[in-house]
Amino acid sequence: MNTGLKMRMLDKIKESLLEDISYKDISADAIIDEDRMARADLIAKEEGIVCGLEVFYQAFKILDEGAKFTCSHKDGDRVYKGDKIGIVECKAQAMLLAERTGLNFLQRMSGIASMTRYMVDALGDESVSLADTRKTAPGLRVFDKYSVEVGGGKNHRFNLSDMVMLKDNHIGVAGGIRQAVEKTRKKVSFSKKIEVEVESLDQVREALDVGCDIIMLDNMSIDQIRKAVDLIGGQALIEVSGNIGPDKIGDYRGLGIDIISCGALTHSVKALDISLKNMEII
């Protein structure tokens, strides 16, 4: 994880800790002296791709600068049920305060990375990029998109200023694809790519006529996609989107498309079961 990314995440980790610590942990405070140290094991309870280990560690380090995390895995590694991923050592009160926050991030991020890796493998086509969307949890986009990359996917737009994407509502308000693209070119820098969402072969032709960089085929059947690929003929990158889940993604192998964007990578993720166990005072 690079330094810039880590810095962007730290404030969010602190915010999440504050959700649990409005004043103090009355349970931990009642039974553990402030200066006592503790050790605990981070254990995988099911198979998957681990992701967010540095985020997990920072939750403890924010509360105890002397916290240590000895880890036998790195982000992107596959773990199996029963694997000891690492050992946390820090002040006992800090461990109990940070445990849930650290695990919440780690479990969600690992769930996203695991789903992404599963779908990349199920697609089985290295010529096609599996991309995320902006359908991320509010406030957690930096974590969600990092997790997709760890799982082997690609990041689509991080925010609305990254590139132009003209979807059905933009096109409807502008009066059509040509009008939308022409208005955009008058106001947006030449350095920004223009992507247009289309729902029919007639719209594919319109997008080609105005020279779009990327054409998104939205909710098209496999047969329609094949026809669109032939029609585009390499004149633009081809993105496919719309209700593409792990059970269907293999159907898109070998079609000649460039990108599959999939909201399911982040909007309905199942957390990977990971626990902090065997806590002991040292």
Measured in degrees and rounded to the nearest 5, phi and psi for residue 59 equal: -60, -35
The yes-or-no answer on residue 178 being catalytic is no
For 153, residues 6+ apart whose C-beta sits below 8 A from its C-beta are 116, 119, 120, 129, 130, 131, 132, 265
- Maximum CA pair distance of the chain? 72
C-alpha–C-alpha distance, residues 95 and 227, integer Å = 57
Which residue of the set 54, 75, 197, 239 is catalytic? 197
The yes-or-no answer on residue 100 being catalytic is yes
C-alpha–C-alpha distance, residues 41 and 37, integer Å = 14
- Asked if 13 and 139 count as a contact pair (C-beta separation under 8 A), the reply is no
267 alpha-carbon distance from chain centroid: 9
Provide the token pair at 155.
């990041």
Pairing of strands 37-44, 274-281: antiparallel
C-alpha–C-alpha distance, residues 161 and 174, integer Å = 19
Which residue of the set 135, 178, 192, 226 is catalytic? 135
Which residue of the set 83, 132, 218, 239 is catalytic? 218
Nearest of 84, 87, 85, 56 to residue 69 by alpha carbon:
87
- The residues facing 89 across adjacent strands are 39, 68
- Asked if 113 and 49 count as a contact pair (C-beta separation under 8 A), the reply is yes
Which residue of the set 167, 248, 253, 270 is catalytic? 167
The yes-or-no answer on residue 197 being catalytic is yes
Query: What is the enclosing helix (H) or strand (E) of 29?
Result: helix 26-31
Which residue of the set 12, 39, 84, 100 is catalytic? 100
C-alpha–C-alpha distance, residues 116 and 118, integer Å = 5
- The residues facing 71 across adjacent strands are 86
The yes-or-no answer on residue 11 being catalytic is no
The residues annotated with a catalytic role in the active site are 100, 135, 167, 197, 218
